[in-house]
Chains A and B, each alone.
Chain A
Amino acid sequence: DDLETAPIVELSLEELLASDPNAVEGLVSRLYASFALTGPSGPASSDIVSPDAGEGAFLRAIINLQDFTADGMKNRWGDDGLDQLTTTSNWDRNNKFFRLFYDRAYFTIPQCNNFLQVLQTADFPDEENIVAETRFLRALAYYNIIDVFGKGVLATDENFGQSELLPESSRQELFDYVESELLAIEPVIRTTSNYGRANRYVVDMLLTKLYLNAEVYTGTPRWDDAAIYVNKVINEGGYSLDDNFIRLFSADNDASPEIIFPLIAESLTSQSFGNTTYLVNGNLSADTMPLSQFGAAQGWTGHRATEAWYGLFGNSAAELEASNDMRASLFWTDGHNYTMTDYRTWTDGFPSIKFRNTFSDGSGNPVDFSATDFPFYRLADAYLIYAELALRGAANTTMADALSYVNQVRTRSFADPIGMGELTLDLIIDERGRELNLEGHRRSDLIRFNMFTGGSYLWPWKGGSPNGTAISDDYKLFPIPVTAIQSNPNLTQNPGF
């Protein structure tokens, strides 16, 4: 019957499995790619319907929501809603950036559910491990829903395909689900994996993050549990700090021993406007910087750090230059003002040159898309978490180890080691800023330290004011996008929106 037309470029599941013996690998690749690429048909394609393909990427959304809303990074474009993020003001449920993150997470989740159903259709090589990886990726997407929106629906492979609207699940319910999923796969998933894929320590790292922030998510601290898993990462994972801090953010960082879980980028074969290309090109501008020095052919004249970040190293461009901390050198100061009088003025604030597309020796050709992988989890983060847990009195931690780990992180970048007397929670949050800013952690960290909302800690443009002003506690969560509530009326809005 001619009414039964059949495609030849797109394939049914049966055709796919018959045509490629490694089809399962390709399906797994797709799930990982969901965190870095925007779509399957080039950088202009998009898995989710969004006004601009690049804005629909997971990593770009994390940077927008975790770093631009926090103290250390600002963006100047505006882009129909980005201003509100960068100034933590006038958040509303229509802002497309909240929707894009929400929709991307709820793209990844059903893709995982669909794949888990596919895996049930037959026996595949390495199936147990692949199932565990898939459940990890789904848990990672849910973790971000918990962290950013605080609630959502619980879509699983069991209810996948059901047309009845799912009920709303609370933050506690999602927390319990993610915890149980991770605990179930942790003993199953392999301890080693090919590059870019999750292994047991990646799972441990996510468990660590979940327990570390448990007080924020559920009201009940879980410091001891966090310590169990961060210890596994540190002691069993086999990772070591990279001697060269620059390499962690350079095109050859796939060889770094420090990275626990990367999001892959390649200049030709893995192109996206929402992977590290957003970090490299976004922080560059031909107006004030030589792009070729950073291996980029484009500068988007977008992001700059603020003194809330580089002020941790010094109070002027000269002081940054004089600092022996290598991390202080990763700001472009020529032609830029230390103070961000107007976040929309490119020359106000120093662009971060932490991420670049050259190799760690400085070589590399200027290209349009970045080849630098994103260090989603790395050992220095685990070290600083350990120290924080020790300071918070978690079982199975010692202050001596904590001091050692903090100093290993500092001295790797040629910063002066600190003494035990200086090891405080205040130091930890600052050290996390110095070490980890622009890596997608900052907003969560500030909330855990109770510094994000209110007026006790101010940063440039907080609350829409050049010097910062207090913001409501409601800003600890983002509004649920109006499209989600309209398409599933079981969902309710977060307070204040």
Chain B
Amino acid sequence: TITDGSNSMPLPGVNVIIKGTTTGTSSDFDGKYSIEVNNGDVLVFSYVGFVNQEIVYNGQSTIDVVMQEDAAQLDEIVLIGYGSVKKEDATGSVDVVSTKDFNRGSIVSTDQLLNGKAAGVRITNNGGSPDSAPNIRIRGGSSLNAQNNPLIVIDGVPIGNDNPAGVSNPLTLVNPNDVESFSILKDASATAIYGSRASNGVIIITTKKGTSSGVKFNYSTDYTISSAGDGLDVMNGEEYTRFIQQFHPGRAGQLGVPTGSVNANQPVSQTLNGRDIYNTDWRDAILRTANSFNHNFSARANLFDKIPFRASVGLSRAEGIVINDNYERVTLSAKLTPTLLNDNLKIDFNAKTIFAFKNAIDAGGAIGEALSFDPTKPVYDFSSNNRFGGYYLTTFDDVADPTNFPNQGFRRIIQANPLARLEQRERPENVRRFLGNIEFDYTMPFLPELNAVVNFGLDASDANILERFANNAFETYRFDATNNDLNSIDTNFLFNPGVNFEENQRITNTTFDAYLQYKKIFDSGFINNFDVQTGYSYQNFKNDGYQRRSQYNLNTGVREPFFNLANPNNRYLNVLNLQSYFVRGNLSLGDRYLLTASFRADGSSLFTEDNRWGYFPAAALAWQIHEESFLKDSEFVNDLKLRVSWGETGQQDITGSVGFYPSIPLFLAGDANSQYLPNSSLYSAQPFNPDLTWEKTTTYNLGLDFSFFSNRLVTGTFDIYKRNTTDLLATTPVPPGQALTNAFIDNVGETESEGFELNLNVNPITTDNFNLSVNTNLSYNKTEVTNLNGLTEINAGGSLRGTGSDLFRHAVGQQAGSAYVFRQVYDSAGNPIPNAFVDLNGDNIIDDNDRYYKQIAPNWTFGFGINFNYKNWDFSSGFRGQVGGNVYNLAQLNLGFTESAVLSSQNNLTNVLNFFDGSANPVISDVNGNIQFSDFYLEDASFLRCDNIALGYRFDNLIKNGSVRVYGAVQNPFIITDYSGQDPENFGGIDGNFYPRPTAYTLGLNFDF
């Protein structure tokens, strides 16, 4: 058996050759091999990325080999766009994260494999839902209103930035089990070849391939049970009763419900002045212990001994910890990599089909209601006069002056039941997606140095969203003025069960690349080799859909179609087209100098013809210092490479802020509810900017790849960079009266980033039976706005409380989207004094000029993992965190003042944070005025999170010709932070009704046979 020294796993595909001959074989999926040899023959075992081993045969019946990874000769293949290089020949800043590095546990979406594993890559998902969107930032983001997500390329198909309708996380649409590796391209020389969409880095995802021999199967399954940890400390029924009696004694009569008025299945905890007080934990009522499982089956074979083939099928069912948050997915994939025509034609064919079924719940609404619903009220009310399907809702009968207006009165819902919100509505969001490509790589038989590559890619999806309500769903409760018995509160209402909303959408993204590559290797001379590629790339993104919307009739309360004459189906069609020409050359000199230069011309349909094309050059130089004579024989230095690069990349994706046609004058028909003059339609001239053109980012990068001491004891990379973005696409005020609106996107301003990244792997113990390795990464990034074309600041959103109260600004000299706050004044006991702020400019007036900026995103992020193998045992762990950065505790603002309990209505009470145990401070009685902009609510977001811990054991002999691995993993077992709110890891910087990230326990089985 041949095993991998790093994890004791069998290593398939190892070449075994009798030295000096062409006779050989390769190991099968279990690392087993057999070969006929004679005494004295020398067997050479070789495998990409591992040290060759030579073993003399002298009669052994079996020869077990432990292959050791070779850092110095780490022939790791790095995909760099339109080709690949060996890692040692890469000139740019490229990280590779492959199977052995992946996070373990219950992984539903592909980004979870990568989180915390690469320096400079910050992934912050929007919460704990199975389909929650990941926000990926490589080296921070350089744009203000343009796209800041990296380009994601899956098996040669660049993924569009428009997600299919209903899909929050595009990376759930790839089965994580199929993923072999991620290549992360960070500096401009690496990304430049992707040009137009690569300013924020590139993540290339490669899926697993077939084998060159044998038929192998893998079946894996895991089962996960997850639950929420502690949440915000709101009061229970008893505490709340005490709170109301103490702080709002006049409202104590609204606690609980009149005795005997409801028929609940909960015990009454006490009776108070004729009212039944319940003790409901509303958070508990909407959360559950969630069960999830994955099944994956894959087969690998070499069809007809010619066509390496892999196919997989996966089935996942993931439950969110909020009730009815369900996600199911079926994935099918096939990959064929045949080589034909005397090895002159290589074909790479990938096809993936995904069916995803999601029930989209209103998680934010339900979580918010669960936090604030009066805990002295019951969850259910089964009494006969309950109209809301047995759920308790707080209502109020709004009866007008009965003498003058006898027929007017209606039952208003004051507080909606969060459980009813989850259970009375279903919103299936189903997606079918096909993602596939076929690439032909043909080497000219007459000129072997020249090959031509053609790649066709298709990413097509079909999404359907339906929103349906149950009978008696409070959200469909409407006033019926035509009812004859208007005096009766109980009958002049109706419910509108059934379909309320429907959307159908079809996304068709097509890619076509073609390039020629000329490669020449010289056997002698100063020039070792050079290659040149030149080609053309075409990408088209089309998103076509329509919606059926509803509204409620004013008189009858009946749901009816929302009919817009100018656009009856509420159709939308967005098309983005990108085309590029590129050329790249690589040159290797004197065995130690590597040069890369590239140039790319990109055209985008978002710009007018005159401004359409952007030109982006890049160059890089790498010096393999360890090849120099003074280091060549060093025991200490195995590998040392210095990289220098410079390059420009472009950004054009502003579709998120101004749509797909921002450069041409257009008219938009008004919606059905936005008409004005009677008997007329309404057409609005849309703002546009014909001068829009490419945003340009220049990156300088200096990097060092190293491996020190024997047995690759210490390996790593260090990169330091500086990045400058000019012609920044940002929404800024326009000169008054000189455009069709007050602010529009324009090429203004600049941002600047600098930082460094360190990946460090230490392998202190490497023996046949025991391996220990520690992987760490650390990165620092500082990005700030340096110029806004004469403006000092622009609004950057971040709505808090009340209407139009935004927290964030883009300001010169600050991180983009910094919080703009007042400095809180505290009394001698450390309590904040409401609305007392420090007069920062000393003019004795507290106004906007006394506000200052605090950044949201952290400068420092890090991750580390400890892995070890002992015989058949394997252990892995992953940790990650950030130092610095801030998060606004919106729950503290909204639930942390004593008046909050009585604010929603004169007729209703709402829950608040616990004022008795310090979760909230009773000195804050209201939040009127500027208190919401106090830095009191902005807290340090530093944290250390344990992402996962996994322990596995491999049984070699449990099944015939195969192995079984059993593992257990725990995800998100703990987090260490000073933050007092729900979770400091928050991409938007405002922690409101956050979907808790669960702690999950997984048990998994993996069969190879």
Interface residues of A (CB under 8 A from B): 2-13, 16, 20, 22-23, 25-30, 32-33, 36-37, 39-43, 45, 47-52, 54-55, 77-80, 83, 90, 92, 94, 96, 102-104, 106-107, 109-111, 114-115, 152-155, 160, 162-163, 165-166, 194-197, 264, 266-271, 286-288, 290-293, 297, 344, 362-363, 365-367, 483-484, 486-489, 491
Contact = CB atoms under 8 A, between A and B. Distances in A.
B667 A12 contact: yes
Interface stretch (B278-286, B394-402, B450-458): B394-402
Given A2-B540, A2-B577, A51 B680 contact: no
A106 B675 contact: no
Interface in B129-143: none
B567 interface: yes
12 contacts: A4-B609, A9-B571, A40-B674, A40-B684, A41-B674, A45-B671, A49-B743, A110-B737, A269-B672, A288-B906, A291-B412, A486-B792
A367 B414 CA distance: 16
B735 A10 contact: no
3 closest cross-chain pairs (CB), A and B: A155-B737, A52-B804, A51-B804
Nearest to B608: A4
Nearest to A159: B738
A366 B407 CA distance: 12
Contacts of A267: 554
Given A29-B677, A33-B676, A292-B410, A488 B554 contact: no
Nearest to B560: A268
Contacts of B847: 90, 92
A29 B742 contact: no
A184 B354 CA distance: 67
B798 to A, nearest CB: 9
Interface stretch (B308-316, B657-665, B992-1000): B657-665
Contacts of B833: none
A256 to B, nearest CB: 16
Interface stretch (B35-43, B95-103, B227-235, B726-734): B726-734
A153 B604 CA distance: 35
The A interface is mostly helix, strand or loop, or mixed, namely: loop
B736 A102 contact: yes
A13 B571 CA distance: 20
Contacts of B567: 9
A267 B481 CA distance: 15
B788 to A, nearest CB: 9
Contacts of B479: 297, 365-366
B569 to A, nearest CB: 10
Given A48-B743, A166-B737, A292-B400, A22 B680 contact: yes
Contacts of A488: 735-736, 738
B906 A271 contact: no
Contacts of A54: 803
A78 B678 contact: no
Given A3-B604, A166-B735, 10 more contacts: A11-B669, A28-B677, A40-B670, A47-B684, A78-B928, A152-B736, A155-B736, A286-B907, A292-B400, A487-B735
Given A96-B804, A197-B677, A293-B400, A2 B732 contact: no
Contacts of A367: 554
A327 B681 CA distance: 37
Given A51-B799, A103-B742, A107-B741, A92 B848 contact: yes
A362 B404 contact: yes
B905 A5 contact: no
A94 B396 CA distance: 41
A5 B661 contact: yes
B399 A292 contact: yes
B682 A30 contact: yes
A398 to B, nearest CB: 39
B740 interface: yes
Interface string B777-820: 00000000000001110010101001111100000000000000
Contacts of A41: 668, 670-671, 674
A286 B396 contact: yes
B681 A26 contact: yes
Contact of A7 (B660, B731, B740): B660
Given A5-B660, A51-B799, A79-B802, A291 B398 contact: yes
B804 A362 contact: no
Interface string B841-862: 0000101110000000000000
B401 A293 contact: yes
B685 interface: yes
Nearest to A369: B673
B666 A12 contact: yes
Contacts of B660: 5, 7
B733 A483 contact: yes
B738 A110 contact: yes
Contacts of B573: 7-9
B552 to A, nearest CB: 9
User: Which of the listed residues A6, A26, A264, A286 has the most CB atoms from chain B within 10 Å of its own CB?
Assistant: A26
A290 B735 contact: no
B923 interface: no
B930 to A, nearest CB: 8
A486 B804 contact: no
Nearest to A197: B677
Contacts of B916: none
Contacts of B848: 92, 94
Contact of A269 (B667, B673, B799, B905): B673
B808 to A, nearest CB: 11
Contact of A51 (B675, B806, B930): B806
B579 interface: yes
Contacts of A3: 577, 579, 603-605, 612
Contacts of A29: 670, 675-677, 680-683
A23 B683 contact: yes
Contacts of B736: 102-103, 106, 152-153, 155, 484, 487-488, 491
A90 B566 CA distance: 46
B575 interface: yes
B405 interface: yes
B830 interface: no
A440 B672 CA distance: 28
B673 A268 contact: yes
Contacts of A264: 676-678
Contacts of A155: 736-738
B686 interface: yes
B676 A78 contact: no
Contacts of A94: 848
A414 B508 CA distance: 69
B737 to A, nearest CB: 3
A26 B404 CA distance: 42
Given A40-B671, A292-B408, A483-B733, A5 B576 contact: yes
B33 to A, nearest CB: 52
A269 B677 contact: no
Contacts of A489: 790
A25 B734 CA distance: 28
A211 B337 CA distance: 84
B676 A36 contact: yes
Contacts of B407: 363
A489 to B, nearest CB: 7
Contacts of A51: 795, 797, 799, 803-806
A470 B408 CA distance: 46
Contacts of A106: 736-737, 742
B409 interface: yes
Contacts of B575: 5-6
B555 interface: yes
Contacts of B23: none
Given A49-B741, A111-B685, A487-B791, A79 B805 contact: yes
A158 to B, nearest CB: 12
B204 to A, nearest CB: 25
Interface string B554-583: 110000000000110001110111010000
B918 interface: no
A10 B667 contact: yes
